[in-house]
Amino acid sequence: MRALRLQEWKSEPELVEVPEPTPGPGQVVVRVGAAGACHSDLHLMHDFEAGSMPWNPPFTLGHENAGWVHALGDGVTGLTVGQPVAVYGPWGCGVCARCRVGVDPYCENPAGAPVPSGGGGLGLDGGMADYELVPDARHVVPLPDGLDPVDAAPLTDAGLTPYHAIRRSWHRLAPGSTAVVIGVGGLGHVGVQILKATTAARVVAVDTRADALQLAEECGADLTVPSGGDAVEQIRRATGGRGADLVLDFVGADATLRLGAAVARTVSDLTIVGIGGGTLPVSFFSVPYEMSVATTYWGSRPELVEVLDLGARGLVRPKTTRFGLDEALTAYHRMRDGTLEGRAVIVP
């Protein structure tokens, strides 16, 4: 079968032929219907090096996957061949307190996993291939009626990651509240949709690009603000001087973190989702009183079920551009150059 594999750090992946996987006990092989291309894959290609992660190449890329059950290993129940499914991307040890409730991204015993890794496409073989081997059937989630694997694939990360970041702040997002989304890219535009679908907050979107702000409006943003200049003043004015109850920073650079802290309200959340490498000095007087600063990573398996339900009902639908497996490098190049709107989905 074909597979897009990262052969070594600081290199571009190669499309090669590899053997088709066979499931062992408790495992599932999924025929890939779609695999999302994620900006974090660019970090794998260009920024990481030996020793920076507990796992190393070679491996097949693609941690955002959906398709159909192709083969079942011994002992697997509750799934049938041909059934449409999504793959929960982070794969933890399965036995620690976090993994037992489906929060594998925060696994407390990663060395106890059968093969320590971040998951398929992150140390183990992912879904940018004709088939993907999922090492534990608990990571295979049936799709609800009405949701195609091509539409489901980006929801497993580009949907789940902002959903988790927003869900943890639902208690702040009552009528009269404001949420600010900084960075309306592959995750940010989905974040706008999730805020509109699940909360009563007024949504303000901030970006440097006019086309991104247009996309935010299409996704339901109540106000769009170009970053820089008088962005802080505009947001403060729009909130009656109070500021935002939740700021979601999907960039994570120095400038966006400063913006987030400047527009946050007292007793608010500033949640950093983007891995832009910025820092935010925190001291007693440098941020609003009782503003909580947190980083989040991915989401839980139960939350994925909820996101897929939103997708099946048409409430959350990432804007996507489809590419064939042999066009995957083009998708990554467009992502790198900033010419890709929304999310790239690789359809084998």
CATH code 3.40.50.720 region(s) in the chain: 160-295
Here the tokens at position 44 are 């794998």
Cα–Cα separations (whole angstroms), residue 119 to 116, 274, 301, 327: 8, 19, 13, 23
Dihedral angle computed from the Cα positions of residues 252, 255, 257 and 259, in that order, rounded to the nearest 10 degrees:
-140
Report the CATH fold assignment for 2-157+299-347.
Quinone Oxidoreductase; Chain A, domain 1 (3.90.180)
Nearest to 142 by CA among 62, 91, 83: 83
Cα–Cα dist 59/14, whole Å: 10
Q: Where in the chain is the domain with CATH 3.90.180.10?
A: 2-157+299-347
Q: Which two tokens stand for residue 312?
A: 């099946």
Check: CB of residue 37 under 8 Å from CB of residue 153. no
Instruction: Specify the CATH number for 160-295; select among 1.10.287.3510, 3.30.365.10, 3.40.50.300, 3.40.50.720.
Output: 3.40.50.720
Per-residue pLDDT of the chain (348 residues; tens, 9 = 90+): 999 999 999 999 999 999 999 999 999 999 999 999 998 899 899 988 888 888 899 999 999 999 999 999 999 999 999 999 999 999 999 999 999 999 999 999 987 776 667 899 999 999 999 999 999 999 999 999 999 999 999 999 999 999 999 999 999 999 999 999 999 999 999 999 999 999 999 999 999 999 999 999 999 999 999 998 899 999 999 999 999 999 999 999 999 999 999 999 999 999 999 999 999 999 999 999 999 999 999 999 999 999 999 999 999 999 999 999 999 999 999 999 988 878 999 999
Residue 37 phi, psi dihedral angles, 5° rounding: -95, 125
